[in-house]
């Protein structure tokens, strides 16, 4: 039986059929108790039309959306000269990247070399998956403690401050020893032959994101003064995550969030927004928006790279808001190191004026920490570092 979320203040775990005959108060209490024991599910196709939202999706007053967030001033970096091999253009781009990463960790890139048709296909094919009935999407259901698969909000993991979204996440590996068509194989395995073309599109998209991210790593290395190849080599053979985000309309958008405030625990995020918009970044004690730009990718630094830079570059708090009228979609590629690679800053970023800020760790240990022990927020890296040190001292 499929159980939907409802906005009923008493029964929040299921939907009572209006065709049921009247029942006694005691029977109704028993029915409500039974529904409360059912696992909570988020079905956007149902909830998008409801005038109220379940209490689990209502956020505290101090975290509710900002009605009119001002625009964040982020540099728009033209990668055309850098990608064509112009050393002057590369140096100019690296300086702009460095300034943005010291300030808040967000910047936009244009003339990035990714085919427009591929980006358009990656957006349009999302509809084939997210427009399926809930039961169909659940064939790729994410299992507890794992980071890949379909997730309808975080209903299986948390019981409050739930995000108003659905996601599909899958693994991409640039390791030469990994299967060549890892993404395509994922779609075939969990969704079947009819999703082969989706798998091909997202396989190609991930390969384009891998290429772009390694180029950005060159700029980051130049900007930090550790050489153009240092971080590129560190992330060659990366084991990364691709996520499709779908935010259904909400009749009470002022009460909830599409994604709660958090810093990405990964290394680098490459985001492409549709034209609906909803990304907000917390800078100088206020929320500011980054409006959609069809020709640009939004880039931001994650916690893992903040550790690699010894805290020189910032992993910034951000969130997503929803609206009443239109679904919002975005494509997020999270660059991550190989699972057991040790995250440690290069020696050139550690000295008496810049002592080590974070302990050595592996990406697999941070990923496990965020999947099983801690809900990602602005303090993830600090709490994780303390946890690592405590484990080492045992």
Tell me the catalytic residues: 328
Distance CA 212, CA 229 (A): 14
C-alpha closest to that of 384 among 360, 350, 355: 360
Phi, psi of 370 (to 5 degrees): -80, -25
* Ramachandran area for residue 255 (φ above 0: left; ψ -120 to 50: alpha; else beta): alpha
Burial status of residue 365 (CB atoms within 10 A of its CB: 0-12, 13-18, 19 or more): middle
- SS (HEC) of the chain: CCCCCCCCCCCCCCCCCCCCCCCCHHHHHHHHHHHHCCCCCCCHHHHCCCCCCCHHHCCCHHHCCCCCCCECCCCEEECHHHHCCCHHHHHHHHHHHHHHHHHCCEEEEECCCCCHHHHHHHHHHHHHHHCCCHHHHHHHECCCCCCCEEEECCCCCCCCCCCCCEEEEEEEECCCCCCCCHHHHHHHHHHCHHHHHHHHHHHHHHHHHHHHHHHHHHHHHHHHCCCCCHHHHHHCCCEEEEEEEEECCCCCCCCCCCEEEECCCCCEEEEEECCCCCEEEEECCEEEECCCCCCCEEEEECHHHHHHCCCCCCCCCEEECCCCCCCEEEEEEEECCCCCCEECCCHHHCECCECCCCCCEEHHHHHHHHHHCCCCCCCHHHHHHHHHHHHHCC
Tell me the C-alpha to C-alpha distance, in Å, between residue 218 and each of 93, 110, 136.
11, 16, 41
Q: Which two tokens stand for residue 345?
A: 């800053």
Cα torsion 9, 10, 15, 17 to 10°: value is: -110
């Amino acid at each position: 039986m499929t159980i939907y979320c409802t906005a009923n203040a008493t029964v929040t775990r299921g939907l009572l059929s209006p065709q049921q005959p009247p029942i006694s108060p005691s029977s109704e209490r028993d029915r409500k108790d039974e529904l409360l024991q059912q696992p909570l599910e988020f079905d956007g196709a149902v909830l998008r039309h409801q005038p109220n939202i379940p209490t689990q999706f209502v956020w505290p007053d101090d975290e509710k959306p900002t009605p009119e967030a001002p625009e964040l001033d982020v540099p728009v970096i033209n990668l055309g000269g850098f990608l064509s091999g112009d050393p002057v253009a590369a140096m100019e781009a690296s300086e702009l990247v460095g300034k943005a990463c010291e300030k808040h960790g967000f910047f936009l890139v244009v003339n990035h070399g990714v085919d427009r048709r591929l980006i358009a296909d990656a957006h349009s094919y999302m509809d084939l998956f997210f427009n399926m009935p809930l039961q169909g999407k659940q064939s790729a259901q994410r299992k507890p403690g794992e980071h890949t698969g379909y997730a309808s909000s975080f209903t299986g993991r948390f019981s409050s401050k739930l995000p108003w979204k659905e996601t599909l996440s899958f693994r991409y590996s640039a390791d030469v020893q990994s299967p060549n068509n890892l993404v395509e194989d994922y779609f075939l395995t969990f969704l079947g032959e009819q999703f082969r073309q989706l798998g091909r599109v997202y396989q190609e998209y991930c390969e384009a994101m891998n290429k772009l991210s390694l180029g950005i790593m060159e700029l980051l290395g130049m900007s930090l003064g550790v050489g153009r190849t240092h971080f590129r080599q560190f992330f060659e053979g990366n084991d990364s995550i691709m996520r499709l985000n779908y935010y259904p309309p909400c009749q009470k958008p002022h009460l909830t969030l599409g994604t709660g405030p958090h810093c990405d625990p990964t290394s680098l995020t490459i985001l492409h927004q549709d034209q609906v918009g909803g990304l907000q970044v917390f800078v100088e004690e206020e929320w500011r928006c980054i409006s959609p730009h069809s020709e640009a990718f939004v880039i931001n630094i994650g916690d893992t790279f903040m550790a690699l830079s010894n805290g020189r570059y910032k992993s910034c708090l951000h969130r997503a808001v929803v609206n009443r009228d239109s679904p919002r979609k975005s494509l997020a590629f999270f660059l991550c190191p190989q699972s057991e690679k040790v995250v440690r800053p290069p020696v050139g970023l550690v000295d008496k004026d810049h002592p080590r800020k974070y302990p050595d760790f592996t990406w697999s240990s941070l990923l496990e920490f965020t999947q099983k022990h801690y809900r990602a927020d602005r303090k993830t890296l600090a709490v994780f570092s303390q946890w690592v040190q405590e484990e080492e001292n045992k």
